[in-house]
């Protein structure tokens, strides 16, 4: 398998999550399930995930790595801020506050800690140690940084200390390995989001087990 075939295979895997998300939506919302405020937040997470994944795969296929890579950060945000519902006293009140326009980073968990990104990353990294580094690296694409310089130029001659650059909307100097890494990042984040959705669906059927689920995921 060529590296290009490998990239296309991974993109198909990422696209295939649409079926999973739709199936989870049916399980979460179909009768006789009750409707809760947290369901509305979960639907928002699902729709945002589908939109980000679609945009990411489209941009990678269009050789727009910079546009694609920066979408990993809001996708990670999907997981981090949805997982905050497992840290608060009342997940449904938490969802209602978000619908009222309250900022998540100004709300607190059940121990009174503000739900700021760095705190959510710290909590999430207990289960997924790689998440802290992904947060740091993907944040580098959101703000103008060295990542944008190094994907726009290439060292042409080390001895002469000359560089080459081109201006255009398509990838010029992005390695295929970097694209694969970005795709895998999106896949892993999606798996984490799906895990939370499955946990919520399970909780709806077993409301008395919520505390047990919290301990399993976040200690």
pLDDT at position 150 = 64
**Omega before 32 within 30 of 0, i.e. cis:** yes
Q: Please report the pLDDT score of residue 203 as a whole number.
A: 84
Distance CA 217, CA 81 (A): 14
pLDDT at 174: 78
What average pLDDT is seen over the chain? 87
Backbone angles phi, psi at 108, to 5 degrees: -125, 155
Give me the pLDDT at residue 32, please: 78
Q: What is the pLDDT of residues 129-142, one digit of tens each?
A: 999 999 988 887 76
Most confident listed range (17-21, 149-153, 197-201, 208-212)? 17-21
Q: What pLDDT was estimated at residue 84?
A: 96
Domain edges within the chain: 3-218
Q: Residues, the chain, total? A: 219
Helix (H, G, I), strand (E, B) or coil at 165: strand
Is residue 165 predicted with pLDDT exceeding 80? no
pLDDT tens digit string along 61-117? 999 988 899 899 999 999 999 999 999 999 999 999 999 999 999 999 999 999 999
CA distance 53 to 13: 11
């Amino acid at each position: 398998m060529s590296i290009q075939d490998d990239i296309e295979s991974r993109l198909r895997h990422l696209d295939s999550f649409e079926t999973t998300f739709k199936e989870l939506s049916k399980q979460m919302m179909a009768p006789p399930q009750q409707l809760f405020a947290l369901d509305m937040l979960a639907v928002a997470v699902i729709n945002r995930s589908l939109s980000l994944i679609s945009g990411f795969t489209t941009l990678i296929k269009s050789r727009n790595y910079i546009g694609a890579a920066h979408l990993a950060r809001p996708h990670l945000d999907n997981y981090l801020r949805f997982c905050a519902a497992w840290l608060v006293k009342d997940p449904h009140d938490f969802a209602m506050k978000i619908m009222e326009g309250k900022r998540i980073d100004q709300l607190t968990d059940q121990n009174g800690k503000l739900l700021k990104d760095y705190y959510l990353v710290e909590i999430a990294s207990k289960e997924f140690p790689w998440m802290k580094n992904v947060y740091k690296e993907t944040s580098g694409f959101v703000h103008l940084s060295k990542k944008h310089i190094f994907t726009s130029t290439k060292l042409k001659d080390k001895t002469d200390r000359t560089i080459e650059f081109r201006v255009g909307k398509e990838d010029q100097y992005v390695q295929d390995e970097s694209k694969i890494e970005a795709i895998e990042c999106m896949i892993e984040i999606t798996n984490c989001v799906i895990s939370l959705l499955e946990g919520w669906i399970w909780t709806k059927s077993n409301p008395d087990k919520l505390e047990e689920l919290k301990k399993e995921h976040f200690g």
